[in-house]
A = this chain, B = another copy of it.
Amino acid sequence: MPRRLYELCGADERLRFSPFCWRVIMALVHKQLPFESVPWHFCEKDALAFSGQEPPQARKVPVLEDEDGTVVSDSLEIMKYLDRTYPEHPLIGTGQARARLDFIRHWSETQLAPAIMTCVIADVHDVLTPEDQAYFRESREARLGNRLEEVQDLEAGKERLHQALSPLRALLADSPFIDGEGPGAGDYLAFGMLMWGHITGRHVLLDEDDTVQAWFERLLARADKAGIEHVRAADINGYVTG
């Protein structure tokens, strides 16, 4: 059977915007493992019953179904599975490398994620199917204690994102990638988060001359080369970008 990746998508199924799915897409590109993308929406809990995630409301993507039928969910578990099963070109590494990756993961989740959320949370809503929109608004507004449209603040979010990216910006003065001469899981964790904003947002979040933007484009070029689509909502809907 073909290798399949179940991926979150928008009403237009070309819109793949989950930061956690992008981690795995880049990990599969890294390992040079071809795969078929299976579009999935938030409300399609039944379609993930095969993944063994219980209760149904806890079912999430990414879920990888490998060629031999092995099923793995959770982006980090999938990366670990890929390193175990296809050990060439390690993603995560071992010992100190693995421990320090956790620091980068927590940086991307505690600093990049809230900054990007502030930039695009209402834009994310707008790309979803009507059923997913209702689910997303209810669950996120309960968590945030505010309307999505009140939380989204592009200028404040961009400022926060600029500050959150300071370690990456400093690192890129000496190194082409977080993981060294070539990219690895460290890069993909941060890249995935930025793709969330890139795909859903009406606006470009980084300055054109930011070295982080150049790094982001180097990684995007790797996805391109592997034939991975990365259509933006702004491209489909004719939103003004800038």
Within 8 A of B (CB), among A153-196: 163, 166-171, 174-175, 177-180, 184, 186
Q: How far is the CA of A109 from the CA of B170 in the complex (A)?
A: 9
CA distance A104 to B99 in the complex (A): 11
CB distance from A62 to the nearest CB of B (A): 21
Stretch of A89-97, A132-140, A197-205 that contacts chain B: A89-97
A36 adjacent to chain B (CB < 8 Å): no
Interface majority SS (helix, strand, loop, mixed), chain A? helix
Instruction: Give A104 to B111 CA distance when docked, in angstroms.
Output: 14
Which of B102, B111, B174, B180 is the one whose CB lies under 8 Å from A171? Answer: B102
Q: Give the docked Cα–Cα distance between A89 and B193 (Å).
A: 34
- Chain B residues within an 8 Å CB radius of A96: 90, 93, 97, 101, 179-180, 184, 186
Q: For A98, what are the chain B residues with a Cβ–Cβ distance below 8 Å?
A: 180
Collect the chain B residues with CB atoms within 8 Å of residue A184's CB: 96, 99
Query: Is the Cβ of A97 less than 8 Å from the Cβ of B102?
Result: no
Q: A218 at interface (Cβ–Cβ under 8 A)?
A: no
Residues of chain A in range 80-114 having any CB-CB distance to chain B below 8 Å: 90, 93, 95-104, 106-107, 109-111
- The residue in chain B whose Cβ has the minimal distance to the Cβ of A102 is B171
Name the one of B103, B107, B111, B179 contacting A99, with C-beta atoms under 8 angstroms: B179
Query: Judging by beta carbons under 8 Å apart, are A106 and B179 in contact?
Result: no
Copy count, this protein chain: 2
Q: How far is the CA of A129 from the CA of B180 in the complex (A)?
A: 42
Most buried by B among A104, A166, A167, A178: A167
A214 to chain B, nearest CB (A): 17
A223-240 residues at the B interface, CB under 8 angstroms? none
Is B171 touching A106 in the complex (CB atoms < 8 A)?
yes
Cβ of A42 to closest chain B Cβ, rounded Å:
25
A110 near B179 (CB under 8 angstroms)?
A: no
Q: Chain A residues in contact with chain B, CB under 8 A? A: 90, 93, 95-104, 106-107, 109-111, 163, 166-171, 174-175, 177-180, 184, 186
- Knowing that A100-B100, A106-B167, A107-B166 touch, tell me 7 more A-B residue pairs with CB under 8 angstroms: A90-B96, A96-B97, A98-B180, A99-B178, A100-B101, A106-B171, A110-B170
